[in-house]
Amino acid sequence: MELDIIKKEDPEVAKYIELELERQKNTIELIASENFTSKAVMAACGSVLTNKYAEGKPYKRFYNGCQNVDKIEELGVRRCCELFGCDHANLQPHSGAQANMAVFLYALNIGDTVMGMDLSNGGHLTHGSPVNFSGINYNIVSYGVNEEGVIDYDNVEKLALANKPKLIIAGASNYSRIIDFEKFSNIAKKVNAYLMVDIAHIAALVATGVHPSPVPYADFVTTTTHKTLRGPRGGIIMCKKEHAQGIDKAVFPGIQGGPLEHIIAAKAIALKEAMSSEFKQYAKQVVENSAYLASELINNGVDIVGGKSENHVMTLDLRKLGKTGKDVANLLEEVGITANKNTVPNDPQSPFVTSGVRIGTAATTTRGMKKEEMKEIASIIADAIFEKDSIENLKNRSYQLCKKFPLYEDM
């Protein structure tokens, strides 16, 4: 076992890996951007491929000895194009943020106008946050959601017509409704803008047809591989054929040096897994679980931004309860549930405190949990928030769910 090797070499690090494994096994994981990979994906991440330097694209490397990693990367690219129906894919970005950065480098000049979803309304740091490279280097126009927590496409169009952005970003890190990519495409065409869609959170749902695909409409589609897709931590850029050469150059040598070939191998494995009928059923169950969990939370007196979930994610709106996201996230951790504090639209609290908690169903669904378990999870969350049960009892209820759905049994 790999852990035995680490124990022998570095018992201090091994101790914390072991503790982390136990935490994952015994905790209900509701962080929407986390999941559990297969052992094959994990094994690839720790394989001898970590030893290989391979700057450049397959068969056009700056280093010798790349014949094997060339084949692996080529396989991963082919699988990505088949799975998502895209013209071209680049599997080298180290993260979703770097995938987005490469698109910016290729499509824009410093100071160009970009429209993206406001971070506090559900967007991502790389969609124009003032503390991020996107907000520092570009003129950002932000759109958000209406009072119902839903994107107002008419308002997005008005902003686009008034500001004439060169790039429009669709996609979110915290938005619970179906996104209409065709509407975004039509808006982009009206102002002659590129359309980039960030599907980091919904990649698996898009790949399996559970969520509409942006590929027919977008110039660029970016994603991470470690959320719903159940792959390693990394990014992918998909694009139309005419942008392929420019995107590849933007990744290398534009923003990165050598690619992580061990991670690319793990991406290739995850993409193969995503082609299976079992994975399609998994993605469908993720959405069913999320919709049911949201409805059960509402039934238990907890507001949800947007009123429901149509994908894998939702945000508890705690404003009416007079509680903060920071306090509730900490409370949930005490009772064996991991989530994260998150802003809500027009949040009166700071981003370090927040009035919301973001939760998702990707990881619990991987463990095999279904609607019955979602009902119990909603009850545990509500009982914790409204102090209807003791911390000890709530923690035991969470633990019993984890025990019923074991994780990595032989590790």
Residue positions annotated with a catalytic role: 53, 55, 198, 224, 227, 233
| Maximal CA-CA distance, the chain | 64
**Distance of alpha carbon 125 from alpha carbon 118, whole angstroms:** 9
User: Is-contact 176 304, C-beta < 8 A?
Assistant: yes
Is residue 360 classed as helix, strand or coil in its secondary structure?
strand
Is residue 137 classed as helix, strand or coil in its secondary structure?
helix
User: Is-contact 311 287, C-beta < 8 A?
Assistant: yes
**Distance of alpha carbon 65 from alpha carbon 46, whole angstroms:** 20
Is residue 317 classed as helix, strand or coil in its secondary structure?
strand
DSSP state of 82: H
Q: How many CB atoms lie within 10 A of CB 361?
A: 30
Q: Which amino acid is at 360?
A: G
Strand partners, 239: 88, 220
Is residue 401 classed as helix, strand or coil in its secondary structure?
helix
Strand partners, 142: 116
Q: Is the peptide bond before 345 cis (omega within 30 degrees of 0)?
A: no
**Distance of alpha carbon 229 from alpha carbon 210, whole angstroms:** 13
Strand partners, 198: 222
Specify the long-range contacts of residues 63-72, CB closer than 8 Å, at least 24 apart.
Answer: 69/261, 69/264, 69/265, 72/261, 72/264, 72/265, 72/268
**Distance of alpha carbon 271 from alpha carbon 207, whole angstroms:** 9
Taking alpha carbons only, the member of 398, 386, 107 closest to residue 250 is: 107
Q: Which two tokens stand for residue 60?
A: 């056009």
For every residue of 324-357, DSSP letters joined together read -HHHHHHHHHHTTEE-EEE--TT-SS-TTT-SEE
**Distance of alpha carbon 144 from alpha carbon 172, whole angstroms:** 11
